[in-house]
Structure 1
């Protein structure tokens, strides 16, 4: 899944590369840049944390015309006017103007390095609104943002990742010379797909991936712990002994009739019953008109 997203097979929308101080996700950003150049797409980079030379290191030197680096690293807040883009310019009109100033044959790819630096100077709701608007304007095909998840509250991280079509969380691999990427992708139907993969980035920003497999020899299973008996410390017995069970089975239930009782109830008795009615002096009964007492 990671290769499909980076190489553009499932490109489009907003992609978040989530990292921590334990493992940097900037090499994945360079893989996105390298893959976009190979597809013949223009790439716009908003560099607030790294210099242009550091980000271009390892990329093909012939790709210089396809990469448009907007320097924000020397002066990200615009105090000395040494930067071509500032944090305050991270909004839909200014970014649209930056992208449209360069002629493109098709929609470009926008790389944000990093969203964490921008979130330090803007309210999260403002950043989320700008990202949502950029997705709809259509001047950029794909937005890839680097997010340092350990620098923000979990609510802020979840809000930004909720807008993304895909989230790539990178971490160091145990006993491996590579990293582990947990990729979460949302399909058009809203279904979430997840996959963990080992990855390695070469010096020329080429990405190699292999699916993470769990080998039986490395899986440590915990021994089964005996379950506690909740009836062990009771002052009364909940279980019946063998003799008590036999005595219980011999007791006749009150709603179950024995054969003798059934025969006694069904045995016919001599004589038949009848009901006799004797009217008294207060009864007003007219044999010719039995319904005389009714007001009809």
Structure 2
């Protein structure tokens, strides 16, 4: 599934790459930039964590005519008075104006390196609202963001990841050059696809899928406790013998009607039944005094 995501993100998509101090997702993020440039997409990168010079040097072999880097690394808070891009400009209006300055006819791919820097200076609801607005169209076709999970509270990470249509969590692999990617992809119909792959990234930022991690099957715990019959020491029998089972099957239940009884009830004969009562000598019933037989 990682190869499919590298081939392109659907319009309105939001891809979040989650990393931690144990493994950085920046190389994978830059691999997505290279893949987009090779597809002749227009890419805008907001650089908060790395300088523009470092990023251009990493992407040196590329044709950078379609690559637009906005330097938010040198003065992210606007202290010098002449910043190129500040964290306060992370809004739909400012980003729309910034991208439209390039006068490209195609909608652009917006790459944010990283969302963690923005979340340190803006509230999570504000960041989530801007990401949701960017997904709805306009000059931005899709958004890719890098998120350092160990810098934020769990609720903040969950709020950002809940918006993502695709989520890649990276962690170190067994070997030094390997990494594990846990991928969650949500389709427009609401279907959720999960995958896990082992990959490596070469010096030229080429992603190679190695294999899927093998998870050992859980061993069966055949302990003496599991093999013990809980009904062995009971004072009564919970099971029926063959003769008892046969007698039970032959037993006619009181609420089960036979075929003849059903026919008689559903199709009565020509006569109608009635109850006749004839009082005898012991029935001393006075119509005027119904309580005459009581000793009162």
TM-score, normalisation: structure 2? 0.76
Superposition pairs of residues 50-199 of structure 1, within 5 angstroms: 50-81=50-81, 83-175=83-175, 177-199=177-199
Contact 1:44–1:67 (Cα < 8 Å) also in 2: yes
- Aligned residue among 276, 279, 282 for 1:277: 279
CA distance in 2, matches of 1:9, 1:160: 18
Moved more, 47-56 or 164-173: 47-56
Moved more, 223-232 or 173-182: 223-232
Instruction: Tell me the alpha carbon deviations over residues 224-270 of structure 1, each in whole angstroms, 9 at most, x when there is no partner.
Output: 152366979xxx95566xxxx99xx8xxxxxx9xxxxxxxxxxxxxx
Instruction: Tell me the alpha carbon deviations over residues 134-185 of structure 1, each in whole angstroms, 9 at most, x when there is no partner.
Output: 1114211110000011111111111111111100111111135211111100
Moved more, 24-33 or 218-227: 218-227
The answer for the alignment partner of 1:20 in structure 2 is 20
Task: Label 1:12 to 1:283 Cα distance change in 2 as closer, same or farther (>3 A).
Answer: closer
Moved more, 163-172 or 198-207: 198-207
CA distance in 2, matches of 1:176, 1:127: 35
CA distance in 2, matches of 1:164, 1:71: 25
Contact 2:17–2:146 (Cα < 8 Å) also in 1: yes
The SS at the match of 2:128 is helix
Q: Which runs of 5+ in 2 are unaligned?
A: 245-250, 252-275, 289-296
CA distance in 2, matches of 1:84, 1:283: 112
Task: Label 1:213 to 1:49 Cα distance change in 2 as closer, same or farther (>3 A).
Answer: closer
The SS at the match of 1:161 is helix
CA distance in 1, matches of 2:43, 2:279: 109
Does residue 224 (structure 1) correspond to residue 226 (structure 2)? The answer is no
Q: How far 1:105 moved relative to its partner?
A: 2.2
The SS at the match of 1:3 is helix
List structure 1 runs of 4+ shifted beyond 6 angstroms. Answer: 228-232
CA distance in 1, matches of 2:157, 2:103: 34
Q: How far 1:278 moved relative to its partner?
A: 4.2
Task: Label 1:282 to 1:62 Cα distance change in 2 as closer, same or farther (>3 A).
Answer: closer
Contact 2:12–2:136 (Cα < 8 Å) also in 1: no
Instruction: Tell me the alpha carbon deviations over residues 71-96 of structure 1, each in whole angstroms, 9 at most, x when there is no partner.
Output: 11111111123531111111111111
Contact 1:167–1:185 (Cα < 8 Å) also in 2: yes
CA distance in 2, matches of 1:188, 1:136: 14
Moved more, 198-207 or 111-120: 198-207
Q: Which runs of 5+ in 1 are unaligned?
A: 250-255, 257-273, 285-296
CA distance in 1, matches of 2:5, 2:235: 61
CA distance in 1, matches of 2:14, 2:176: 30
Q: Larger radius of gyration, structure 1 or 2?
A: 1
CA distance in 1, matches of 2:29, 2:77: 23
Task: Label 1:278 to 1:21 Cα distance change in 2 as closer, same or farther (>3 A).
Answer: same
